[in-house]
Amino acid sequence: MTTVTEKAKGFIQVDKRDAKLALAHIYVAFIALFIGGLCGLLQVLVRSGQFTLPWGITYYQILTVHGVLLGLILTTYFIFGFQIAAVSRTAGTLTDKQRSIGWIGFWTMTAGTVAASIMVLLNEASVLYTFYAPLQAHWIFYVGMALVVVGSWIGGIAQIMKYVEWRKANPGQPSPLITFMVVVNLAMWIICSLGVAVEVVFQLIPWSLGWVDKIDVLLSRTLFWYFGHPLVYFWLLPAYMVWYVVIPKIIGGKIFSDALARLSFMLFLIFSIPVGFHHQLTEPGIDSFWKYLQVVLTMMVVIPSLLTAFSLFASFEIRGRELGAKGVFGWFKKLPWKDARFVVPFIGMAAFIPAGAGGIINASHQMNQIIHNTIWVTGHFHLTLATTVVLTFFGAAYWLIPHLTGRILTKQMNHLAIIQAIVWTVGMSIMSGAMHIVGLFGAPRRSDFSTYGGSEQAADWIPYQIAQAVGGTILFIGIILVLYIVAHLLWFAPKGKTEFPIGEVSEHAEKTPMVLENWKIWLTICILLILFAYTIPVIDMIQNAPPGSKGYKLW
Ligand code: HAS
């Protein structure tokens, strides 16, 4: 295998000051991985029925630490670190003003993270990562979460400013693909997080401070899920950036089509927000027409993922044939199976095939009745988020961190990174597989074993829960391995230059039509679809809220 360093000749280096900002985010992400992962291990042990938490720590407390730190903090910080580096690498070094705004965003998010984490660790906010009312947390937890969101807007604006500057300097030209993708992800994030911001600021904070004694629970859940589904695409799209732009370069090939990649991202922007009701299909108070409409829109958001799968297969096949591959699957053997930067994200891609099929099952109105609130759903998001996305992030970290720290990924670390991914795959197959199967038998998610462990059904679930504990323990070993590699890349790896790989578009690809970068058109469609999918049902919810829930209303 050619080492990363050997390949890295004459490449563009991210400016040191931007690298520092990106790295600050990456540090927080991996600290969150350690604490959140440890709580994940404790959780599967508790659910196996063989272990009791010491010192009065509760199941919901560790479940909240796990969900908030891994689902919200690890992801947001890694994504921001990656995006800042990607924008700086492809659209140019940030200006001092943009970088200062980036730092203000970072510190605002971090102040919020610390405040919220302290409340969760003190058992004052054991409300899980969805913080559904009527579970109530200490007001400091909600203020902390609001600061994380506001900080992400500030940090996001810094990245968008660089894009705007680039477009002004290069009129009529399509922007660098990965910078464009970053801006789509941020646009989606800002539009969707308005929902959770309204919920937290106008409902949860006044309620937790005792200014109002009741809130409209259905409305609060609806505002959460207006945010919650695009949240999962906010996690996914940076993985897609790696798949579309970085992986073709790593395999020595070309990006299949710039236009197709941009179209797929714009389809995510318009279809990923008006679909939150697919998390609320079993909830009363929402007319079934609106649920059905959002199920249809959910099926539309599957299309850009299918486009992505097509594009990836095309990139792989074209490269394989260049290297002499024959037959339908001959290209498979020609891929760089000894390069962790490829293998680790590739396992993530492969996992997304069953994971995506699971998502389609979830979204299919009637089938949702079988799996909703069972541990099948937990199995689903451990395949999507904790395998597809997280393995892609690990694979990216193996070139991103050494690029930013001025070090290299040695052959030994490259080898260890592949072993890490195999450990992860084994652990996750056992854990997520058991979750999917026992979920179909009706085993509940988010339930303390002590509350249901004595029931007759629970006896049938126990073998699967023990399997989850075995898988979870293997996964924790995977976390220790990745943290070891990351620490090595941050502080101990030999000094050297590592490439930030950015693929070139194939010369056979069609020219990118500029309409794909016409924000007026795409944002208008996005807002119209949101208004169409949400206006009437939300008015309905407010007007027809059951008597007890009218104590506090938004308007
Ligand atoms: Fe989901 C629940 C529907 C994708 C995460 N989802 C969740 C929850 C999370 C989550 C965290 O409709 C739980 C929320 C909670 O706490 O309650 N999900 C979908 C659908 C998709 C989907 C339709 N989910 C994701 C992704 C996530 C994620 C991505 C995180 C990153 N999900 C649902 C529904 C629920 C739900 C319901 C609510 C369930 C309930 O009742 O509570 C789709 O986006 C999936 C489309 C994906 C594909 C796959 C394309 C494949 C590709 C790979 C190509 C591979 C290659 C490699 C080229 C169609 C792109 C080649 C490999 C070889 C081996 C050759």
Determine which residue's CA is closest to atom 3 belonging to ligand 1: 359
Q: Are 106 and 24 in contact (CB under 8 A)?
A: yes
C-alpha to C-alpha distance for 33 and 70, rounded to whole angstroms: 6
- pLDDT tier at 16 (50, 70, 90 boundaries)? very high
The helix/strand/coil state of 444 is strand
Residue 555 lies in a domain: no
Based on the fold, state whether residues 192 and 265 are members of the same structural domain: no
| Ligand 1 contact, 242 CB (< 6 A) | no
**What are the phi and psi torsion angles at 68 (to 5°)?**
-70, -45
CB 227 within 8 A of CB 188: no
Give the ligand 1 atom nearest the CA of 350.
62
**Per-residue confidence band for 547, with pLDDT thresholds at 50, 70 and 90:** low
Rank 3-7, 36-40, 407-411 by mean pLDDT and report only the highest.
407-411
Q: Of 259, 270, 422, which Cα lies nearest the Cα of 337?
A: 422
Supply the pLDDT for residue 548: 53
Instruction: Check pocket membership of 312 for ligand 1, CB cut-off 6 A.
Output: yes
Higher pLDDT residue, 463 or 268? 268
CB 476 within 8 A of CB 424: no
Decide if 43 is inside a domain.
Answer: yes
DSSP class of residue 266 equals H
Query: Quick one: 526 and 443 in the same domain?
Result: no
Q: Is residue 6 part of a domain?
A: no
Query: Hey, what are 305's tokens?
Result: 């993922």
**For residue 71, what are its two tokens?**
């689902």
pTM > 0.85: yes or no: yes
Lowest mean pLDDT among 268-272, 381-385, 450-454: 450-454
Q: Are residues 148 and 77 in the same domain?
A: yes
Q: Is 262 a catalytic residue?
A: no
411 and 535: one domain?
A: no
- Output the pLDDT for position 2: 36
d(C-alpha 310, C-alpha 292), whole Å: 28
Q: In the annotation, is 436 catalytic?
A: no
String of DSSP letters for 2-24? --HHHH-SSPPPPPHHHHHHHHH
Residues 34 and 67 in one domain: yes
Judge whether 513 lies within some domain: no
Same domain? For 500 and 527 the reply is no
Confidence of residue 455 (pLDDT cuts 50, 70, 90): confident
Distance 166 CA to ligand 1 centre (A): 34
Are residues 158 and 289 both part of a single domain? Answer: no
| Distance from Cα 326 to the centre of ligand 1, integer Å | 33
Atom of ligand 1 nearest to the CA of 329: 65
Residue 530 has pLDDT above 90, yes or no: yes
Name the phi and psi angles at 495, rounded to 5: -70, 150
Q: Which of 232, 251, 307 to mutate to test the pocket of ligand 1 (most atoms within 8 A of CB)?
A: 232
Q: For residue 138, tell me if it sits in a domain.
A: yes
Split into its structural domains, the chain has a count of 3
Residue 226 domain flag: no
Q: From 215, 242, 271, give the residue that closes a domain.
A: 215
Average pLDDT, the chain: 91
Inside any domain, residue 328? no
42 vs 79, residue with greater confidence: 79
Helix axis angle for 258-271 and 177-198, nearest 10°, is: 0
Calculate how far, in angstroms, residue 381's C-alpha sits from the geometric centre of ligand 1.
7
72: domain CATH number? 1.20.210.10
For residue 240, report the distance from its CA to the centre of ligand 1, in Å: 13
- Residue 189 shares a structural domain with residue 267: no
Residue 446 has a pLDDT of 80
Q: What span, in angstroms and rounded, lies between the C-alpha atoms of 132 and 23? A: 33
Say yes or no to pLDDT of 524 above 90: yes
Q: Is the pLDDT of residue 552 over 70?
A: no
Identify the band that residue 105 occupies on the pLDDT scale cut at 50, 70 and 90: very high
pLDDT at position 9, please? 52
Q: Given the CA of residue 332, which atom of ligand 1 is nearest to it?
A: 65
Higher local confidence (pLDDT), 47 or 401: 401
Closest ligand 1 atom, CA of 275?
Answer: 12
188 lines ligand 1 (CB under 6 A): no
Q: Are residues 168 and 100 in the same domain?
A: yes
Average pLDDT over residues 417-429: 97
Distance CA 155, CA 508 (A): 37
Confidence of residue 5 (pLDDT cuts 50, 70, 90): very low
Please indicate whether residue 296, judged by its CB atom, sits closer than 6 Å to ligand 1.
no
User: What pLDDT, in 10s, does the model give residues 322-367?
Assistant: 899 888 889 999 999 999 999 999 999 999 999 999 999 999 988 9
**Out of 380, 403, 407, 488, which one is annotated catalytic?**
380
Which amino acid is present at 432?
S
Does residue 550 lie within any of the structural domains?
no
Dihedral angle, C-alpha 259, 92, 75, 21, nearest 10 °: 180
Is the distance from CB of 477 to CB of 437 less than 8 angstroms?
no
Q: Check whether residue 158 and residue 78 sit in a common domain.
A: yes
Active site residue 229: yes
User: DSSP letters along 289-318, please?
Assistant: HHHHHHHHHHHHHHHHHHHHHHHHHHHHHH
- Which pLDDT score is estimated for 510? 86
Considering the domain architecture, whether residues 277 and 371 belong to the same structural domain is answered as: no
Is the CA virtual torsion 126, 130, 131, 132 positive or negative?
negative
**Alpha-carbon torsion (180, 181, 186, 192), positive or negative:** positive
- Domain of 203 in residue numbering reads as 12-215
Q: In the annotation, is 508 catalytic?
A: no
The stretch 312-321 carries a mean pLDDT of 92
Is residue 446 annotated as part of the catalytic site, yes or no?
yes
Is any ligand 1 atom within 6 A of the Cβ of residue 235?
yes
* Residue 300 in this model has a pLDDT that exceeds 80: yes
Region 446-467: mean pLDDT is 80
Q: Which residue has the higher pLDDT, 551 or 26?
A: 26
Residues 481 and 382 in one domain: yes
Q: Which atom of ligand 1 is nearest to the CA of 228?
A: 14
